[in-house]
Amino acid sequence: MKTASQLRKLADGSRLVRVTFAGTDFQLREGGNLAAEMLAAGIGPFRYTPVSGAPRNPYCMMGACFDCLVEIDGVIRQACMMEVREGLSISRPAAGEAEHD
């Protein structure tokens, strides 16, 4: 069973910094697009839907679909609209979280 997309990174010499996702440490490129770096690190699913619990990962990468939602410091954010910073502590949004209205 496949669990991740395969992504090849073109080298760019960025510094790697530590972030955690759901309690596990990952080294991601500092300043990189958070959703992209998470995908390339094989992190996923980003979240489970509140309705059926289905797994989701980024779909549009342009801030329109909201499938890349993650929780950072208690705030639910679009990972594709954020940059990697050292020490980010990321988790899946709690199930049933009121993300709308």
Question: 44 to 63, contacts with ligand FES by CB under 6 A?
Answer: 58-61, 63
Residue among 41, 65, 72, 76 that touches ligand FES (CB under 6 A): 65
Rounded CA-CA distance 35/22 in Å is 15
Residue 93 touches ligand FES, criterion: CB under 6 A: no
Nearest Cα neighbor of 47 from 28, 66, 23, 19 is: 66
Question: 20 to 49, contacts with ligand FES by CB under 6 A?
Answer: 35
Structure tokens at 41: 């690190």
Binding residues for other proteins, per CB under 8 A?
1-10, 12, 32-33, 36-37, 39-40, 44-46, 49, 51-52, 54-67, 69, 75-76, 81, 83, 99-101
